[in-house]
A and B are shown apart, each in its own frame.
Chain A
Amino acid sequence: MTAHFDFLVIGDDEASLCAAACAQKAGAKVAIARSSKSRKKQTAGAMPSVPNFIWRRLDLQDFGLTLDRVSARVTLFETGDPVVTLPGVRDTTAALADAGIGDYTLWQDFVADAAALGDSEFINSASSGAPNDGAASLANMLGDRSALHRASVLSGSCQALLDDCFEDNRLKGHIAAHALAPSGLGGAEPGSAFALTDYFNDDAWRVRATGEGRSLHDILTEVCERAGVTIYAKPLERVSSDGGKFKTAIFDDDEKLKTRVIFFATPDAAADAGAGHCAPGASIRGAGAATATVRVKLSEKIDAPAHDSDAIFQIIDGGDDLQEARDAAISGRLPERLPVEFEIAKNGDIIARSAYFPAVFFEDDEWRGWSSQDRQAAAMHIRERLGSRLPGLANIILKATIDITGAVTADSAFSDCAGVIVQPSRHNAISAAVRLIDRMIVGDS
């Protein structure tokens, strides 16, 4: 007898586990398929915070979990002082004033405006990919002037929104870098304003494990097990659909299960599983690009820029870098001035990533996939960028490893996307994934 499920969640990250546990607890029947790659035992970098409502639903207080907020968002430009913003609005205002940024008085209003903008029901529901009443919500939005204005700003570019608010180019570059770099978007792209407003959500501020106690991933796995989620820890071979309510997922040992919905908590999980093409509105999420993560082991601790080793750092030369890098990535080229995000892990490793690599390369009028030389070049590129902001880095590197996600693979288990739901890239993947799966459960019943 083949097992039947409401949801098959594919992925092994915190967002997937949270979504699975919450859905199971809400009464759905859920299975998790861990991706083929086994999770490497490494010092975790910053991750999305667990919003309070999920904390309560999963009773995470029972597990002695402690998480630290990332201390600051810092942008390191080619020249001049770093620009720093902090979790508190007033602290940020003061920091900006100290840094001589003339627009500091506007920060508070900007944050409030950006948060209010994110409150666009139409765009939020249309971008989630969940079933919803498109016509009615379109009519509602068109009939309400301020809702329509919000939707229009969200559908515009991040750059236009920032130009309307600020004059200081460094501040604009800083905001754009932190808001857009995680999803690899360009500042001038229509729709990039959406990522910007998402970033001003309270939950968007990332957290980091304290290094004591169990990791969030372990705890969530246990929560899933306790809740009764079925976990399949083997590679998925193929997914097929006979057009009925259920899709059949077949594992590499020929075990089968049937599920109503295949759920990806993040676009990265979908890309990993070869289902990147199933995402709706792929362009709003920075599709067409791959993400490279480089971990650098050092022989000694490095001095953190801005004297803050708990911050998230962005490296850009100027505000236009993001769009240029995005343009290069989707045209199949390596960007010249690669935006790189990095942090210093508790054990002193540097974890650097950039979502501005091409998913496929375009060379000599041909599209081609990633080669090992490309991986080397990407790692080199990121190391160079790190070196430009961390003097002396080159001399203390012991080892660097690179991991690429989102690169286009030749064959995909997902020929048909019906019944496949992919949560678009959000600053807080956990919160977004749980909200989406909740909405789908409500929609079902």
Chain B
Amino acid sequence: MKCVVIDITEFVANPIRTGIQRVLRELLRYWPNPSHLKLGRFDGSRGLVPLSDDVLPLLLDDDEQAKEATTEELRGLLEQRLNCTDSSGWPDDAIVLVPELFFDPLRCLWYFERVRQHPMSTFFIVYDFIPWLYPSRIGMNVTAPLMHYLRLIREARCTAFISSQVKSDYAARIRRNGSLDCGPVLPLGADGIGLERQAFSARKRVWVSIGAINGNKIKIVFMLHFITCGKMDLMGSWC
């Protein structure tokens, strides 16, 4: 079995509990063969470098200190362990999985070259194309700073999508070749946050709207609707 390296650059640099990071956390938690799993992060001057497994408990909330930590504190704890790189590295035929969305041009260009050289051993999970196809929904003025990533994804040969719609957009509007032979759809699980199954109760009075507050999630519609008729808790961060 080949070694798989998961690039978690953004996760360790900016652990803010986004939806994408939840996906990543579950990937790491349930990876079927942990002994063949390696972690990596991108370094502008060295490319993808190995990360010590020591960061895993912090990312998976298995560390008591990390569980209660704020984002800043968690970032501090991670930074302490980032210096302990894994000197063993990984074999040349390792597969690289990139389950993050990122816009750093250097990282994009590095992967673009890797895709050119190792198209069948560089994998990507693709989340959506909202910034490029519906920029006004999330208040984007221009998309040029995001285009290196799109160019990379367009070039990739091993991609998986979180929904059929994303896959269809990819085929029809990004690659524009009409072929749906571009990778599987891997729907996200609904058990990521470990809540017990919910049942209707007439006694429940509090509405919760979860997720980042941005134009795409039209929180303002919720707010306007509920502001006069009840209590509403917003759990998320402004972006």
* A and B physically associate: no
